[in-house]
Amino acid sequence: MSPSIQILNPGILTLIQDAGRYGQHSVGLTTGGPMDPLAFKWANRLVGNDQHVSALETTIGGLKIKVNSCTQVAVTGAEVSVKVNGQAKAQWQTLNLKANDELELGYATQGCRIYIAFASGLNIEPQFNSTSTVVREGIGGLTGKGLQAGDVLELNHETLEDSRWQLPESARPVYEDTVTLRLIPGYQEHHFSRHQQRMFFYHEYKVSDLCDRMGYRLTGPKVTCDIEGILSEGICLGAVQVPKDGQPIVLMNDRQTIGGYPKIGSVLSIDLAKLAQLTAGGTVKFEPITIDHAHNELALAQYRYRHQALVAVTSEEIK
Amino acid sequence: MRIHVAGENALMVYFADTVSDATSAQIQHTAQGLAQHLGDVLIDLVPSYASMLVLFDPLKTDHIHVRKLIRGAASHPQVEQDSQQENIVRLPVYYGSETSPDLAHIAQNAGLSVEQVIEIHQQTLYRVYAIGFAPGFAYLGETDARIATPRLATPRKKVPKGAVAIADRQTAVYPAPSPGGWNLIGCCPTPMFDPKGTPAMPVQAGDAVQFYAIDKDEFFALGGTFDAWGEIE
């Protein structure tokens, strides 16, 4: 019997994701991939995987699974209760599982995207070079949909390794209800008057009920643009489009690849992950950043991730 | 050509303000020149009507270098073969009453007969300006001004796979069932998106497309079906 995990309850929404689907925009396929890539990478690293192997993204919570062999697992991302066979366990650290163990998540108390990675990774047939599930396209994962109770996911191999690691608390992302999104002005920015841009950067916006893997609609003071539409053009991750109603939409991983609404710029990916952890009612503020400063921030973030050491877990104590 | 910042890993190249065959050719030429860098410093390209989004890996390169790559690819002399190699894709369409709920309305608007609308739709050699909206959805333009028709006031909840449609001066084939507000004039039995196929699509951006009418027998022989058409109003 090959090592595998069985989904007992998929919770609100559980999707198979890898780093995302790239180089496929020419046939209209979007990127997909983890909404919070940093938490995703840490989950993989805590179980000794390459940072982009296939793992699970659960939104809000409620996931329950059972493993049929020895493996290691790590749960990162949104704050959530984790139980193995009913016993409370910690996030952001390696957990050892043996055959027939059950892992159960509660519901997120802070943030909303939870990542669950397994040692050796999920063995999923890629579609268009990626296993990332995009439900809107019916592409990726097992069947292009969210996982269902009864689904069985194969692991690449059994893991007898039992050394455990944790990410020091000081290095863990903090998910807050109010986030500042640094935005690189771009696209049609010159069609938003200086006054409108000031308003946009000055005011706070709320995350509306219409927020999902495709986009986050915000509500707040109306931003007006001197054009209503443009010839449809490519949309990058984090682009902020402003339709006629003046309420900004931040485009996320499962966005359409082209569209005809004016855009004021794009959110820095590091900050987009924080937005992805917000649910309806969260507060957002925008702050301008130059592309050169953005590149610097990305390089620094990569440096910090690479040089952050994991700490060995020696006791069963919960942190 | 204007190059704008779009995001931390994206530059937007505007080739012109309007749509034309010359612009489309220029976009394809630049895309071909940049394609050699895909998988290395570039991660994806999104050609569209008069622009192309160039996505790069910001941990391997920066926008200054990518601007140079774009200008280099665009100014590289256009080999004459570029235009001669034009790929013309012929797509069959069944324009029968079973699959053309909006044909009468278009004809009435245009002061033409249904037969004339069908004829005019086939006469134009369309350009694939962009692929997006959904996997395999190719925006084709421009239709003859006489048959240009605004989108439906209320979009349909479900347009069948293969539906051939018109919106303003654009035409397209729905690659999969989806909601849609375009006017439906026929059905194309050729799959426009097959995840298992190589390539996954019969057309790519920049190609030319010509539609040709087929009768009911040919439609069925090519795998066409009326199954999903009975449900639409």
Round to whole Å and give the CA distance between B181 and B159: 9
Interface predicted TM-score (ipTM) of this complex, two decimals: 0.94
The share of chain B scoring above pLDDT 70, in percent, equals 97
A12 lies in the same domain as A137: yes
CATH of the domain at A133: 2.60.120
Q: Are the beta carbons of A28 and B134 separated by less than 8 Å?
A: yes
Average pLDDT over residues A166-193: 96
B121 lies in the same domain as B80: no
Round to whole Å and give the CA distance between A30 and B132: 9
Q: Are the beta carbons of B53 and A235 separated by less than 8 Å?
A: yes
Other CB atoms within 10 Å distance of the CB of residue A306: 7
Give the residue ranges of DSSP H helices in B42-80. Answer: 63-75
Average pLDDT over residues A286-307: 97
A111 lies in the same domain as A207: no
- Per-residue pLDDT tens digits for B66-125: 999 999 999 987 765 555 567 899 999 999 999 999 999 999 999 999 999 999 999 999
Average pLDDT over residues B159-180: 94
B42 lies in the same domain as B8: yes
Q: Does B10 touch chain A (CB under 8 A)?
A: yes
- Residue in A307, A302, A312 with CA at minimum distance from that of residue A167: A312
Domain encompassing residue A40? 4-167
Q: Are the beta carbons of A291 and B204 separated by less than 8 Å?
A: no
Nearest to A28 among B7, B55, B136 (CB): B136
Residue B233's pLDDT is what? Answer: 65
Q: Does A99 touch chain B (CB under 8 A)?
A: no
The share of chain B scoring above pLDDT 90, in percent, equals 82
Q: Would the CA dihedral through B49, A261, A273, A254 be positive or negative?
A: negative
Domain final residue pick, A167, A187, A217:
A167
What is the pTM (predicted TM-score) of this model?
Answer: 0.93
A130 lies in the same domain as A195: no
Residues of B in contact with A295 (CB under 8 A): 8, 58, 62-63
Average pLDDT over residues A177-187: 97
Domain final residue pick, B65, B84, B103:
B84
Q: Are the beta carbons of A256 and B132 separated by less than 8 Å?
A: yes
Count the domains in chain B. 2
Q: Does B174 touch chain A (CB under 8 A)?
A: no
Average pLDDT over residues A132-155: 97
Count the domains in chain A. 2
Average pLDDT over residues A32-46: 98
In a domain, A281, yes or no: yes
Residue B24's pLDDT is what? Answer: 92
CATH of the domain at A252: 2.40.100.10
Domain final residue pick, B84, B116, B144:
B84
- Residue in B206, B209, B230 with CA at minimum distance from that of residue B49: B206
- Residue in A240, A298, A311 with CA at minimum distance from that of residue B59: A298
Residues of A in contact with B12 (CB under 8 A): 186-187, 233-234
Average confidence score pLDDT of chain B: 93
Instruction: Determine the longest span between alpha carbons in chain A, in angstroms.
Output: 65
Round to whole Å and give the CA distance between A26 and A6: 35
Average pLDDT over residues B142-171: 93
Structure-block tokens of residue B221 = 């022989």
Average pLDDT over residues A241-253: 95
Domain encompassing residue B103? 88-231
A31 lies in the same domain as A159: yes
Domain final residue pick, B44, B64, B84:
B84
Q: Are the beta carbons of A235 and B52 separated by less than 8 Å?
A: no
Residue A82's pLDDT is what? Answer: 98
Residue B27's pLDDT is what? Answer: 95
